Amino acid sequence: MDERRERVRWFCHDRFGLFVHWGLYAIPGRGEWVMSQEHIPAAEYEKLAGQFQPGDYDPARWARMAKKAGMRYAVLTAKHHDGFCLFDSKLTDYTSMTACGRDLVREFLDAFRAEGLKVGLYYSILDWHHPDYPKFHDANHPMRGNEAYRDERIDFDRYLRYMHGQVRELVTNYGRLDLLWFDFSYGEMRGEKWRATELVSMVRAHQPHVLIDNRLEASGEGFGSIVTESPTAYAGDFASPEQLIPPEGVRNVRGEPVPWELCTTINNNWGYVPGDTCYKDAPMLIRKLVECVSKGGNMILNVGPDPEGRVDERSVRVLEQMGQWMEKNGESIYGCDSAGIPKPEWGRYTRRGNTLYAHVFEQPIGPLALTGVDKDAILSVRLLADGTPVRRGEGWVTSEYKSIPFVSFGEVSNYSYPLPDSTDTVLEITLKA
């Protein structure tokens, strides 16, 4: 527990990261699960490798985009479920080195490190391309239920040697990794089915500091033993809820907070889908980032570049807008945690030590009630974005609420004034020690 607490210290400070899902599936543009959903045989799907020539891949541009957005770390899909590797693996020729002559993972890591961002790699423990991965009875394989594979004999131990070998390549050939994002366990395919204790032991031997998610025994809808009295050796360092913010954060059976990270998409797909125009806008994503932090969690926000390696302009604009808010208000995110105060009706609180941040999403009628805050503990209140002092708002209209502190956004406490920032006006409240 103490080792995990030390490993996650930076993670629980930085709070906001970039996820990048990219691979051969960008070419058909129907999502990263297209091989499974359309039951495409490996021999047919692998022809896409001959078309993979990402001439506009410039990870330095991605890194600048992420840094400008206020992100502090980034994770790239080194290999997704389709088995295609974006790194130079000596265990297969189904890689970007063969397809386009480039080690795309190395370029990514070098570029993001150059911008001072922490780096991680996603690695799928599934592999729909490998001949020794289960097919007919598997819940997800493209050839599930295909009679041609009913009686197929495979050597799953050979697959595990391959999978462990590739992870060894990633943790020994690419310098310091800050995150290793495994994906995912399901049905009987979890825990020691992957020889997970052995796998984590090998990873820790080479990179004892690296953070590992909880998906060697869970997936996006579950937490695994990380929330139990007896976490396994492969329980991971953080939980990874997917496309859903836990209503009350993540806690173990003793009620203690567990590090967690919401993984979510900027539209509705992880991989490149040009027809998906259901983008989340920047104000919504800012508020959801605040919600994560207010519940003791992180957000890792995904983009899916196109086959050429370009991030679409709409995603870039959303990230730019988030960055503009973060530039002024990032102090209320970085190093912050749950405030230990019930959620106010108008927004949320985050906290760092004796500094409380009130994230005001809704304009009040008259003064704003800082519910849950000790009236006598407040030393000062100011707008975080520009340091402007904020007036106390107690007056004749608040006389019945003597224990609740109020503030006003204008000169007259019982008047209604527009919020300085309609997305999220952040008040920095300094409290007595």
Residue 19 CA, chain-centre distance (Å), reads 6
- The CATH number covering residue 312 comes to 3.20.20.80
| Structural domain total, the chain | 2
Give ∠ CA 42-43-44 in degrees, rounded to 5.
Answer: 90
**358 and 328 in a common domain:** no
**99 and 241 in a common domain:** yes
> According to the model, what pLDDT value does residue 1 have?
64
The secondary element (H helix, E strand) that includes residue 356 is: strand 355-360
**394 and 325 in a common domain:** no
Judge if the upstream peptide bond of residue 184 is cis by omega within 30 degrees of 0: yes
**176 and 307 in a common domain:** yes
**110 and 38 in a common domain:** yes
Give the chain's radius of gyration (CA, Å). Answer: 24
**184 and 71 in a common domain:** yes
pTM exceeds cut of 0.85:
yes
Task: Please give the chain's pLDDT, 433 residues, in tens.
Answer: 688 999 999 999 999 999 999 999 999 999 999 999 999 999 999 999 999 999 999 999 999 999 999 999 999 999 999 999 999 999 999 999 999 999 999 999 999 999 999 999 999 999 999 999 999 999 999 999 999 999 999 999 999 999 999 999 999 999 999 999 999 999 999 999 999 999 999 999 999 999 999 999 999 999 999 999 999 999 999 999 999 999 999 999 999 999 999 999 999 999 999 999 999 999 999 999 999 999 999 999 999 999 999 999 999 999 999 999 999 999 999 999 999 999 999 999 999 999 999 999 999 999 999 999 999 999 999 999 999 999 999 999 999 999 999 999 999 988 999 999 999 999 999 999 9
**58 and 183 in a common domain:** yes
**360 and 317 in a common domain:** no
- Token match 């052995």: residue? 198
Q: Which residues, 6 or more positions from 351, have their beta carbon under 8 angstroms from its beta carbon?
A: 336, 337, 338, 339, 340, 341, 357
From residue 290, alpha-carbon distances to 69, 89, 129 in Å are: 15, 39, 40
Is the residue at 172 inside a domain?
A: yes
Rounded-to-integer distance, Cα 385 and Cα 288, Å: 19
**36 and 7 in a common domain:** yes
Q: Which of 19, 20, 83 is nearest to 54 (CA)?
A: 20
**373 and 279 in a common domain:** no
Q: Of 332, 359, 393, which one is at a domain's C-terminal end?
A: 332
**377 and 302 in a common domain:** no
Determine the structural domain holding residue 410 and report its residue range. Answer: 347-431
Rounded-to-integer distance, Cα 63 and Cα 87, Å: 18
- The CATH number covering residue 370 comes to 2.60.40.1180
